[in-house]
Amino acid sequence: MNKKRVFSGIQPSGIIHIGNYFGAITQWVKMQDDFDAIFSIVDLHAITVPQDPKKLKENTYKLTAILLACGIDPKKAPLFIQSRISAHAELTWILNTIATIGELERMTQYKEKIQNSKFKIQNFSSVGLFDYPVLMAADILLYNTDVVPVGEDQKQHVELCRTLAKRFNNRFGQTFKVPQIQLRKEAARIMGLDNPKKKMSKSAESSYNYIALADSPDDIKRKIMKAQTDSGKEIKFDENRQGLYNLLMIYKLFSEKTEDEIEKKFSGRGYGDLKKELAELIIEKLKPIQIKYQKLITDKSHLDSILSSGADKVCPIAQKTLKDVKSKIGLI
Ligand code: TYM
């Protein structure tokens, strides 16, 4: 039986945090064994907000090295840079003609991003930022994707992708597979350490919001010790105590212990102890990734060859879909 196709992407934004790691990357690593998986570094998405060109190049290499260090195996799952395959931009244009302005105006991420003070200061909201979900739909639909593993913040975008696929199929005949979204239950939404009401985010105003995979032990300790909790005492998994719940969830994900085991371990102990042990656990678990990363990042030509071979493998799939789409809509 043919394996199901998985497609997912991640932006080369410089900071890859434990939200990305648990919400997406750990799912990808698991799925690459049982699925026909394709993963993309989505640089065309990254440029929807202003980027320093030099840093963007550097961040693309850094992300490649991080993904490999986390266990993505390019022999099992091609890894490629989105902008290398021009079909992504071409299909975006075509899908733009069936997506509506109202649909894009309803996208929560867009609404939040234009409110974010970082972008407000630049006073620049690009058409690309508005159109970002259509590019994402093109990414997914080009590869006849069955399953899209993402964190919860991307759910609305994948739903729009499904809507566009169905609309296109209705108008022009069966062309696109309608993909399913896959969220990793407990890790779909890791919250900000400094504000557990909002998701952990690399565009957060303070670096105390997130733990980056590349953070030093000192940074990790400082950020966890400063993480927001409440004035309660008992250490329990209680979703209403959002700060504590988020820290316990991070502990659970890194330790792979059950909630019962964790509650017993910290019974009668205070938040200070929990934070200290959590910081130590994160440092210990990120260390092997950081060691691998340091080695990989020094060999750019190796990274280049992985990315080129990934693009070579996926290009024919994308071209075939695009050709079919063009023919269906009457482009000669
Ligand atoms: P990006 O680069 O913002 O994030 C990469 C992945 O990390 C997940 N994620 C989180 N998961 C749990 N908790 C969090 N706090 C958290 N923050 C981020 C995201 O949901 C995502 O899965 N538009 C996408 C990239 C993309 C894509 C695609 C994904 C482009 N084309 C096609 C799937 C299919 C993005 O910007 O992700």
Residues with CB under 6 A from ligand 1: 7-11, 19-20, 23-24, 42, 45, 136, 139-140, 148, 150-151, 153-154, 187-190, 199-200
Domain ranges of the chain: 5-183+300-329, 207-294
What's the 155 CA to ligand 1 centre distance in angstroms? 9
Per-residue pLDDT of the chain (332 residues; tens, 9 = 90+): 689 999 999 999 889 999 999 999 999 999 999 999 999 999 999 999 999 999 999 999 999 999 999 999 999 999 999 999 999 999 999 999 999 999 999 999 999 888 876 665 566 788 999 999 999 999 999 999 999 999 999 999 999 999 999 999 999 999 999 999 999 888 889 999 999 999 999 888 899 999 999 999 999 999 999 999 998 889 999 999 999 999 999 999 999 999 999 999 999 999 999 999 999 999 999 999 999 999 999 999 999 999 999 999 999 999 999 999 999 999 99
At 15, phi and psi to the nearest 5? -115, 115
- 18 and 250 in contact (C-beta within 8 Å)? yes
What's the 160 CA to ligand 1 centre distance in angstroms? 15
The pLDDT assigned to 32 comes to: 97
Under CATH, what is the fold of the domain 5-183+300-329?
Rossmann fold (3.40.50)
Tell me how far apart the 2 most distant CA atoms of the chain are, in Å. 73
The pLDDT assigned to 120 comes to: 58
> How many Cα atoms sit within 13 Å of 25 on the Cβ side?
24
User: CATH classification of 207-294, choosing from 1.10.1740.10, 1.10.8.60, 2.102.10.10, 1.10.240.10?
Assistant: 1.10.240.10
Q: Edge-to-edge strand order for the sheet containing 79-81?
A: 79-81, 36-41, 5-10, 147-149, 180-182
Q: Looking at the annotation, which residues are catalytic?
A: 113, 199, 202
* 79: β partners: 39
Residue among 207, 224, 214 nearest 281 (CA): 224
At 212, phi and psi to the nearest 5? -85, 150
The pLDDT assigned to 188 comes to: 83
From CA 42, how far away is CA 40, in angstroms rounded?
A: 6
What's the 153 CA to ligand 1 centre distance in angstroms? 7
Residues 6 or more apart in contact with residue 234 via CB below 8 angstroms: none
Q: Tell me, what DSSP letter sits at residue 3? A: P
